[in-house]
């Protein structure tokens, strides 16, 4: 009986060591743990049995290969759950085909897993005397019937008595009790590990999905960037070809005029040369009678010379103003036809403005005044927050506008849902339909997200750019001077949204400067 109990203890500790090793090597390998459980479950069930009249031979049989009838050597487990020595199994497969020798189920691709748990148990069994002999204490020669917890080893009753003066008797347990305790701990640990493995598998799958989504998003953004620049390249290339073609046409017309004039000048020059030769010949004529007879020819030459003009120089100057003016600016203006979004002209809606807000006549500036105006308290007007909305809401498309915030110590800007609460104090967050950033104390810039996030400023903001893509649920903010990105909200819009402006209180003149919507004069 004692040898059987010793075997159980050995098996328990072997299993503990195996589970620890297996988990540390591959914590996510739930399939391996599951297969090993098939091998150790009968052993654990036996060890937790309250009847300890077990034979060591039974354990030896459980840990023996059914092919060679010896303790397992390099044990492997098949998908069907049966265990065999690897050399025995391969020998059978080489002779008779690839199937389980016990249940005759086919094993595709010679699939098996090394059963480390079973292998370590078999090794532990070999260290015990399984022929009915009982281990004895090396120091006292008495049967080892106790388990000494601090030392982690077996002991005899004399060993326990030797520790009595040290008040360590409670640290000794009967072997069956120790086996029961540690078996229960192992079973609990196994449940914990299984739960951990399930959670790890869920996290792993979620992480894989996030990685896949990230890669897909990266490709989409890369495609978007390439497409936008392709539009610019195509526009500029087309404009370049058009201007060069126009230049060639105008140049050809002027060149033809100048070359035609050159031909006329050459003809006149040749005529003058011919006349000059004729005159020279007359001057050398010695016969006076013959010379005088040709006076009529002389008169004709005089008349022809007097009537003919020299002509004029054709300059053919190209229009530098058309081809050498502010070309970049001209291209930028024309490029608006392909910009998406185009610069959006935003104005303020006075019907939504808080009574202490002053709006400019053109409805592009807003600032706070200490004197409250008497205005109708309509449902759309803010009565507590010193805010105002844009006059136009959006339900589709892409938009971009800029707001000058120079010299202001605090403000709040962004986009809000049409249905936001405009009466009393209310929380600002995307959940409530606000996608905003705010400045406080001149330098403290924050995104008003579910968890407010501090944003890094490299210098004082003088102009803020706001980009809205309704379909994508995107609201992005930029330093409009450098076009550096400040923050982006991603959400789903389900109703009309409006530009939002809050100049905040003027703080006795410290924050008196207005918020100014930039109007681009193109």
Question: 321-330 pLDDT, tens per residue?
Answer: 666 666 776 7
- Cα angle vertex 489, ends 483, 495, to 5°? 120
Are the C-beta atoms of residues 147 and 155 closer than 8 Å to each other? yes
Q: Which two tokens stand for residue 491?
A: 């959400």
DSSP H or E segment with residue 194:
helix 175-283
CA distance 379 to 389: 13
Between CA 210 and CA 190 the distance in angstroms is 30
Instruction: Give the integer Cα–Cα distance in Å for 313 and 113.
Output: 99
pLDDT of residue 422: 92
Is 236:230 a contact under the CB 8 Å cutoff?
no
**240-259 pLDDT tens trace:** 898 898 889 888 988 998 99
CATH class of residue range 58-129 = alpha beta
User: Which residue blocks in 284-324 are alpha helix, DSSP H?
Assistant: 288-293, 295-307, 320-323
| Percentage of residues of the chain with pLDDT beyond 90 | 37
Residue 475 binned pLDDT confidence (cut-offs 50, 70, 90): very high
Across the range 502-522, mean pLDDT stands at 87
The residues, any chain, with a CB within 8 Å of residue 190's CB and separated by 6 or more, are 19, 37
DSSP code for 343: B
What pLDDT does 111 receive? 86
Q: How confident is the model at residue 294 (pLDDT cuts 50, 70, 90)?
A: low
- Supply the DSSP symbol for 119: H
Name the nearest CA neighbour of 408 among 266, 261, 506, 488: 506
Helix (H) and strand (E) counts in the chain: 11, 19
Unique residue bearing structure tokens 């410290």: 510
CATH code matching the domain that covers 357-518, chosen among 3.40.309.10, 1.10.357.20, 2.60.120.920, 1.10.10.10 = 2.60.120.920
246 vs 327: CA distance, rounded Å: 15
Which pair of tokens denotes residue 95? Answer: 């002779």
d(CA 495, CA 433): 10
128 neighbors 7 (Cβ within 8 angstroms) = yes
pLDDT above 60 (res 354): yes
ω into residue 381 within 30 of 0, thus cis? no
**Cβ neighbours for 137, distance < 8 A, ≥ 6 positions apart:** 143, 144, 155, 156, 158, 159
> Which tokens is 456 given?
């890094």
How far apart, in whole angstroms, are the C-alpha atoms of residue 343 and residue 519? Answer: 9
Answer whether residue 16 shows pLDDT above 60.
no
Burial code of 390-408, b = ≥16 C-beta within 10 A, e = fewer?
beebbeeebbbbbbbbeeb
pTM of this prediction?
Answer: 0.54
For the segment 466-494, the average pLDDT, to the nearest whole number, is 93
Query: β-strands 497-502, 113-114: how paired?
Result: unpaired
Structure-token pair, residue 96 = 């008779």
- C-beta of residue 384 within 8 angstroms of C-beta of residue 502: no
* Residue 516 bridge partners (DSSP): 365, 404
Percent of the chain with pLDDT over 70: 77
Token look-up 């159980």 returns 8
Domain residue limits, the chain? 58-129, 357-518
């Amino acid at each position: 009986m004692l040898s059987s109990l010793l075997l159980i203890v050995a098996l328990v500790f072997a299993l503990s060591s195996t589970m620890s090793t297996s988990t540390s090597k591959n914590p996510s390998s739930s399939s391996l743990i599951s297969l090993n459980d098939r091998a150790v479950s009968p052993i654990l069930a036996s060890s937790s049995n309250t009847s300890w009249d077990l034979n060591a031979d039974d354990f030896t049989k459980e840990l023996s290969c059914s092919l060679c009838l010896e303790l397992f050597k390099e044990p492997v487990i098949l998908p069907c759950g049966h265990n065999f020595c690897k050399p025995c199994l391969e020998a059978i497969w080489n002779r008779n085909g690839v199937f389980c020798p016990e249940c005759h189920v086919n094993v595709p691709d010679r699939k098996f897993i090394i059963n480390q748990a079973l292998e370590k148990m078999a090794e532990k069994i070999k260290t015990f005397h399984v022929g009915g002999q009982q281990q004895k204490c090396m120091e006292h020669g008495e049967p080892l019937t106790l388990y000494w917890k601090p030392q982690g080893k077996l002991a005899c009753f004399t060993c326990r008595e030797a520790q009595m003066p040290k008040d360590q008797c409670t640290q000794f347990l009967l072997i069956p009790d120790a086996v029961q305790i540690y078996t229960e701990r192992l079973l609990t640990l196994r449940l914990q590990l299984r739960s951990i493995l399930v959670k790890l598998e869920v996290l792993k799958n979620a992480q894989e999905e996030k990685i896949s989504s990230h890669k897909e998003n990266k490709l989409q953004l890369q495609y978007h960037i390439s497409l936008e620049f392709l539009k610019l390249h195509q526009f500029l290339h087309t404009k370049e070809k058009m201007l060069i073609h126009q230049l060639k046409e105008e140049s050809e017309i002027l060149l033809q005029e100048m070359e035609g004039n050159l031909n006329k000048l050459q003809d006149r020059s040749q005529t003058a040369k011919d006349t000059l030769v004729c005159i020279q010949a007359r001057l050398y004529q010695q016969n006076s009678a013959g010379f005088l007879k040709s006076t009529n020819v002389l008169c004709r030459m005089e008349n022809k010379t007097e009537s003919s003009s020299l002509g004029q120089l054709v300059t053919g100057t190209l229009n530098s103003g058309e081809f050498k003016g502010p070309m970049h600016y001209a291209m930028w203006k024309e490029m608006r036809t392909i910009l998406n979004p185009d610069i959006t002209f935003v104005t303020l809606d006075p019907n939504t403005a808080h009574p202490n807000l002053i709006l400019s006549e053109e409805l592009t500036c807003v600032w706070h005044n200490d004197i409250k105006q008497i205005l109708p308290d309509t449902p759309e007007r803010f009565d507590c927050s010193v805010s105002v909305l844009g006059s136009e809401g959006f339900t589709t498309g892409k938009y971009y506008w800029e707001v000058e915030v120079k010299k202001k110590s605090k403000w709040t800007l962004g986009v809000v849902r049409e249905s936001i609460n405009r009466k009393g104090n209310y929380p600002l967050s995307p959940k409530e339909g606000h996608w905003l950033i705010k400045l406080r104390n001149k330098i403290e810039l924050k995104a008003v997200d579910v968890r407010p996030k501090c944003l890094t400023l490299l210098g004082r903001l003088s102009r803020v750019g706001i980009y809205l893509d309704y379909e994508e649920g995107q609201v992005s903010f930029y330093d409009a001077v450098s076009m550096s990105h400040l923050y982006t909200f991603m959400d789903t819009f389900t109703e009309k949204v409006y530009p939002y402006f809050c100049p905040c209180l003027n703080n006795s003149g410290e924050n008196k400067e207005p918020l100014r919507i930039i109007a681009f004069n193109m």
